[in-house]
Amino acid sequence: MKKIFLLLTIISATLIAQKKTHYEYVNPFIGTDNMGHTFPGAVVPFGLVQLSPETDTVLYSYGKVYNPDVYKYCAGYQYSDKTIVGFSHTHFNGTGHSDLGDILLMPTVGKIQLNPGTKENPDSGYRSRFNHQNEKAKPGYYSVHLDDYNIDVELTTTERVGFHKYIFPKTKEAHIILDLTSGIYNYDGKIVWSFIRVENKNLITGYHQTNGWARTRYIYFAIEFSQPIESYQLRNDEQVVYNGFWRKFNQNENFPERAGHKIKCAFNFNTEIKNEILVKVALSGVSTKNAIENLNTEIPHWDFEKIVQQAKEKWNKELSKILIETSEERKINFYTSMYHAFINPNIFSDVNGEYRGLDQNIYKPIKFINYTTFSLWDTYRALHPLYTLIQQKRTSDIINSMIVHYEQSVHKILPVWSHWANENWCMIGYHAVPVIADAIMKNINGFDYQKAFQACVASANYDLYDGIGYYKKYGFVPEDLNSNSASKTLEYAFDDWTIYAIAKKLGKEKEANEFYNRSLNYKNIFDKETGFMRARNSNGKFKIPFDPLSVANQGFIEGNAWNYSLYVPHDINGFIKLIGGKEKLVSWLDSLFTFELPEKYFGESEDVTKVGMIGNYVHGNEPSHHVAYMYNFTGASWKTQEKIHQIVNEMYKPKPDGLCGNDDCGQMSAWYIFSLLGFYPVTPASNQYVIGSPCINSAVINFENGKQLKIIVENYSEENIYITDVFVNGKKLNRSYFTHDEIINGGTIKFIMQKTPNKNWCTDKNSFPYSLTK
Amino acid sequence: MKKIFLLLTIISATLIAQKKTHYEYVNPFIGTDNMGHTFPGAVVPFGLVQLSPETDTVLYSYGKVYNPDVYKYCAGYQYSDKTIVGFSHTHFNGTGHSDLGDILLMPTVGKIQLNPGTKENPDSGYRSRFNHQNEKAKPGYYSVHLDDYNIDVELTTTERVGFHKYIFPKTKEAHIILDLTSGIYNYDGKIVWSFIRVENKNLITGYHQTNGWARTRYIYFAIEFSQPIESYQLRNDEQVVYNGFWRKFNQNENFPERAGHKIKCAFNFNTEIKNEILVKVALSGVSTKNAIENLNTEIPHWDFEKIVQQAKEKWNKELSKILIETSEERKINFYTSMYHAFINPNIFSDVNGEYRGLDQNIYKPIKFINYTTFSLWDTYRALHPLYTLIQQKRTSDIINSMIVHYEQSVHKILPVWSHWANENWCMIGYHAVPVIADAIMKNINGFDYQKAFQACVASANYDLYDGIGYYKKYGFVPEDLNSNSASKTLEYAFDDWTIYAIAKKLGKEKEANEFYNRSLNYKNIFDKETGFMRARNSNGKFKIPFDPLSVANQGFIEGNAWNYSLYVPHDINGFIKLIGGKEKLVSWLDSLFTFELPEKYFGESEDVTKVGMIGNYVHGNEPSHHVAYMYNFTGASWKTQEKIHQIVNEMYKPKPDGLCGNDDCGQMSAWYIFSLLGFYPVTPASNQYVIGSPCINSAVINFENGKQLKIIVENYSEENIYITDVFVNGKKLNRSYFTHDEIINGGTIKFIMQKTPNKNWCTDKNSFPYSLTK
Domains of chain B: 31-315 (2.70.98.10)
Query: Which residue would you say has higher pLDDT here, B608 or A732?
Result: A732
Segments of chain A scoring below 70 in pLDDT: 1-18, 61-65, 771-774
To the nearest whole Å, the CA of B674 is away from the closest chain A CA by 32
Phi first, then psi: what are they for A194, rounded to 5°? -135, 150
Decide if pLDDT at B63 tops 60: no
To the nearest whole Å, the CA of B417 is away from the closest chain A CA by 10
β-bridge partners, A154 = A143, A165
By CB neighbour count within 10 A (0-12 exposed, 13-18 middle, 19+ buried), where does B162 fall? buried
Choosing among B410, B430, B465, which should be mutated to test the A contact, i.e. which has the most A CBs within 10 A?
B410
Q: Which of 211-250 (A) contact B at CB < 8 A?
A: 211-213, 215-216, 239-242, 244-245, 247-249
Q: Quick one: pLDDT at residue A17? A: 47
Residues B664/B375, Cβ–Cβ less than 8 Å: yes
Partner B contacted by A251 (CB < 8 A): no
Q: Which of 429-468 (B) contact A at CB < 8 A?
A: 464-466
Residue among B162, B207, B149, B208 at smallest CA distance from B39: B162
Q: Quick one: pLDDT at residue A64? A: 60
Across the interface, of B190, B209, B289, the residue whose CB is closest to A361 is B289
Residues A617/A565, Cβ–Cβ less than 8 Å: no
ω into residue B545 within 30 of 0, thus cis?
yes
For chain B, give the number of residues: 774
Contact B241 A212 (CB under 8 A): yes
Taking CB atoms and an 8 Å cutoff, what residues of chain B touch A215? 242, 245, 259-260
Residues A311/A158, Cβ–Cβ less than 8 Å: yes
In 3-state terms, what secondary structure has residue A518? helix
Cα torsion angle, B342, B348, B350, B353, sign: negative
Partner A contacted by B469 (CB < 8 A): no
Alpha helices (H) along A652-687: 667-677
Q: Quick one: pLDDT at residue B244? A: 81
Give the whole-angstrom CA distance, residue B96 versus residue B682: 23
β-bridge partners, A232 = A267
Taking CB atoms and an 8 Å cutoff, what residues of chain A touch B466? 248-249
Taking CB atoms and an 8 Å cutoff, what residues of chain A touch B207? 360
Residues B62/B189, Cβ–Cβ less than 8 Å: yes
Q: CB neighbours (10 Å) of residue B228?
A: 10
Across the interface, of A62, A193, A424, the residue whose CB is closest to B209 is A193
Q: Which of 278-337 (A) contact B at CB < 8 A?
A: 287-289
Contact B62 A410 (CB under 8 A): no
Partner B contacted by A706 (CB < 8 A): no
Contact A361 B259 (CB under 8 A): no
Question: What number is the average pLDDT over the span B562-578?
Answer: 96
Closest residue of chain A to B251, computed from CA coordinates: A464
What H or E segment, with its residue span, contains residue B76? Answer: none
Taking CB atoms and an 8 Å cutoff, what residues of chain B touch A410? 197-199, 256-257
To the nearest whole Å, the CA of A67 is away from the closest chain B CA by 12
- One-letter amino acid for residue A198 of the chain: V
Q: Quick one: pLDDT at residue A359? A: 98
By CB neighbour count within 10 A (0-12 exposed, 13-18 middle, 19+ buried), where does B10 fall? exposed
Contact B205 A248 (CB under 8 A): no
Taking CB atoms and an 8 Å cutoff, what residues of chain B touch A248? 425, 465-466
To the nearest whole Å, the CA of A412 is away from the closest chain B CA by 10
DSSP A81-92: --EE-EEES---
To the nearest whole Å, the CA of A289 is away from the closest chain B CA by 7
Closest residue of chain A to B216, computed from CA coordinates: A259
- One-letter amino acid for residue A151 of the chain: I
pLDDT in tens, A314-334: 999 999 999 999 999 999 999
Across the interface, of B216, B248, B464, the residue whose CB is closest to A425 is B248
Query: What interface predicted TM-score (ipTM) does this complex get?
Result: 0.95
Q: Quick one: pLDDT at residue B771? A: 67
Give the whole-angstrom CA distance, residue A465 versus residue A461: 9
Across the interface, of A209, A241, A424, the residue whose CB is closest to B244 is A424
Partner B contacted by A359 (CB < 8 A): yes
What H or E segment, with its residue span, contains residue B411? Answer: none
Taking CB atoms and an 8 Å cutoff, what residues of chain A touch B424? 242, 244
Contact A189 B244 (CB under 8 A): no
Choosing among A187, A239, A410, A424, which should be mutated to test the B contact, i.e. which has the most B CBs within 10 A?
A410
- One-letter amino acid for residue B531 of the chain: G
For residue A334, give the DSSP letter. H
Q: What is the CA radius of gyration of chain A?
A: 26
Q: CB neighbours (10 Å) of residue B759?
A: 12
Taking CB atoms and an 8 Å cutoff, what residues of chain B touch A190? 241
**pTM for this predicted structure:** 0.96
Across the interface, of B212, B241, B248, the residue whose CB is closest to A466 is B248
Contact B216 A360 (CB under 8 A): no
Q: Which of 584-603 (A) contact B at CB < 8 A?
A: none
What's the order of all strands across the beta sheet hosting B151-157? B135-138, B141-146, B151-157, B161-167, B276-284, B217-225, B203-210, B191-198, B257-260
Kindly provide the residue ranges of all beta strands, DSSP E only, lying in A250-356, ordered along the sequence.
257-260, 263-269, 276-284, 322-325, 346-347, 355-356
Q: How many CB pairs under 8 A join A and B?
A: 124
Residues A160/A47, Cβ–Cβ less than 8 Å: yes
Residues A120/A98, Cβ–Cβ less than 8 Å: no
Choosing among B215, B290, B355, which should be mutated to test the A contact, i.e. which has the most A CBs within 10 A?
B215
Q: Quick one: pLDDT at residue B553? A: 93
Decide if pLDDT at B1 tops 50: no
Sequence-ordered list of residues with C-beta below 8 angstroms from that of A236, at least 6 positions apart, any chain:
A251, A258, A259, A260, A261, A262, A263
pLDDT in tens, B721-760: 999 999 999 999 999 999 999 999 999 999 999 999 999 9
What H or E segment, with its residue span, contains residue A213? Answer: none
Choosing among B62, B74, B209, B248, which should be mutated to test the A contact, i.e. which has the most A CBs within 10 A?
B248
Contact A242 B189 (CB under 8 A): no
Instruction: Tell me what percent of the residues of chain B surpass a pLDDT of 90.
Output: 90
Partner A contacted by B424 (CB < 8 A): yes
Contact B425 A197 (CB under 8 A): no
Nearest-10 Cα torsion for A670, A674, A679, A682: 0
Partner A contacted by B193 (CB < 8 A): yes
Q: Quick one: pLDDT at residue A1? A: 43
β-bridge partners, B710 = B700, B748
Residue among A175, A63, A197, A68 at smallest CA distance from A125: A175
